[in-house]
Amino acid sequence: MQDETFISGLSAEQLLLTTLVVKLAAMAALATMLVRYRRFRHILIFERRDWPDRLVFALSFGIPLTAGVVARLLLKYEAADLTLEGAFLAGLIAGPYAGATVGLMVGIPPLGNGEWIALPFAVGCGFAGGGLRELCPKEAIWHFSPFVFTSLPRRVWQMVRSFQVDWQVLLLLAPIALEVLRQSLGFRWSVNHRLFYYWKPYLPSSSPWMMGVVLLATVLAVATPIKIWNNARIEHRLQEQEKLLLAAKIEALANQINPHFLFNTLTSISSLIRTQPETARMLITKLSGLLRRLMSSTDHFVTLREELASIDEYLDIEVVRFGPQLKVIKEISADTLDVIVPSMILQPLVENSIKHGLARKIGEGRITIRSILRERHTIIQVEDDGLGMTEEGLEHALGGGIGLSNVNERLRTIYGVNYQLKLKSVPGQGTCVSLEIPELSIPERVTA
């Protein structure tokens, strides 16, 4: 055989290098495309997989790989053949049967070309990956990196000295051993073309260093999808941690509100025990019912309809305290009733209106609760005709008090810094507190 075989203007070495680079690009593109699908990403994230999940994984991964093998056979496009890497990787990620299924899929088309060794070899690669998966810790698979070879001598020495298995070394050596086996079988049956392999068709025996390049490409073709898919797993975990942190922060803020409300109500009850014992008893009954409902619910988000029902229970207590002097008016738009809002978001606003706006007012007091839908935002207002506040009082209400500052912080935490309470007040005329809830910003309820 000649030292240089020119095909399409490229030498044998150049053509092989180009083929291997394109093969790596094809595997990376396939891995990136598959991880974009929710079902496939779900299979990657959760290690416990039932048979439907394994079948979906095998078909999702195996069909493109089979198409690549067919492209090699029909178009002579050898970079599309990922038989070894695909079957081994399927077994490594989803188990031996998924690996064998992918191996079966990619091993059948070559039979029509007389490559009789392809099928048992591909199935064997799937079982090899699956067997390795059954032996080694699952996280070791996701931490696999081809750069292990830079510290391979040290790792091997530590294995021998400590009698402990270094799974990264085994994960590195497994695809290398399979590639060496494929090259050996291909070289043995090269005359009859019983098995496809990369080195022999292009390179003369005087260039054995290219065999190392082929082995490196095989390892990279296995490690690259693992790296891409592990990044998706890490991103999912970070998102879950952010959700947990958000839920914990919301719960902490909500827990600040409940004792504040409870303290104020108990203070009201204590003032009525001697003068109006029956009224105090009624307040205790209503308070126990309200607390029972609050404690039995773990939802951080409810519909506006449910939040208004909670406000009604609270106002029942306040109406008993203030009698007919307290008037409550509701101007609720029907298209806002099913909007999702943070739970216990209105009670502090109503409580603030009663405590600071109406409690010291002489004569009748009125609270108006409004909601309207405007430009994909639900605007909720709680307005009173009480004593009102000065500019200094407004600043103190948002910065120094518990109720309003807590609600303001919850809005900023959940929806961002652009969403916060807006206060308008005129001394002697009343105060209006308004907030905006963006539409569809919370697609589902978050529970503790």
How much is the pLDDT for 251? 61
- Band (pLDDT 50/70/90 cuts) for residue 120 is very high
Domains assigned to the chain:
12-239 (no CATH), 273-438 (3.30.565.10)
How much is the pLDDT for 2? 38
How much is the pLDDT for 45? 81
- Band (pLDDT 50/70/90 cuts) for residue 162 is confident
How much is the pLDDT for 6? 43
- Residue 389 host element (H or E): none
Structural Rg of the chain based on CA atoms: 35
252: Cα separation from own chain's centroid: 23
Q: Is the pLDDT assigned to residue 191 strictly greater than 90?
A: no
Q: Is the pLDDT assigned to residue 68 strictly greater than 90?
A: yes
- Band (pLDDT 50/70/90 cuts) for residue 262 is confident
Tens-digit pLDDT profile for residues 393-436: 777 766 655 667 778 887 887 888 788 888 888 888 888 999 99
Q: Is the pLDDT assigned to residue 124 strictly greater than 80?
A: yes
Alpha helices, H only, 297-342:
304-322
User: Can you tell me the distance from the alpha carbon of 365 to that of 361, in angstroms, rounded to the nearest whole number?
Assistant: 7
Residue whose pair of structure tokens reads 């506040």 in the numeric block: 389
Residue 385 near residue 366, CB atoms below 8 Å: yes
Amino acid at site 149? F
Instruction: Give the range among 154-158, 233-237, 320-324 with minimum mean pLDDT.
Output: 320-324
Angle between helices 209-272 and 38-45 (to 10 degrees): 90
Closest CA to 314 of 346, 342, 337: 346
Which residues, in sequence order, are CB contacts of 111 under 8 Å at separation 6+?
Answer: 118, 119
Tens-digit pLDDT profile for residues 334-393: 999 989 888 778 888 888 888 777 767 777 888 899 999 988 889 999 998 888 887 777
- Band (pLDDT 50/70/90 cuts) for residue 1 is very low
Which 3 state secondary structure label does DSSP give 343?
coil
184 or 151, which is more confident? 184
User: Can you tell me the distance from the alpha carbon of 420 to that of 422, in angstroms, rounded to the nearest whole number?
Assistant: 7
User: Can you tell me the distance from the alpha carbon of 305 to that of 416, in angstroms, rounded to the nearest whole number?
Assistant: 24
Task: Name residue 383's beta-bridge partners.
Answer: 368, 432
**What's the average model confidence in pLDDT over 146-163?**
78
Which 3 state secondary structure label does DSSP give 156?
helix
Q: Find which of 142-146, 268-272, 312-316, 441-445 is predicted with most confidence, using mean pLDDT.
A: 142-146
How much is the pLDDT for 255? 56
Q: What is the dihedral of CA 275, 276, 280, 286, to 10 degrees?
A: -150
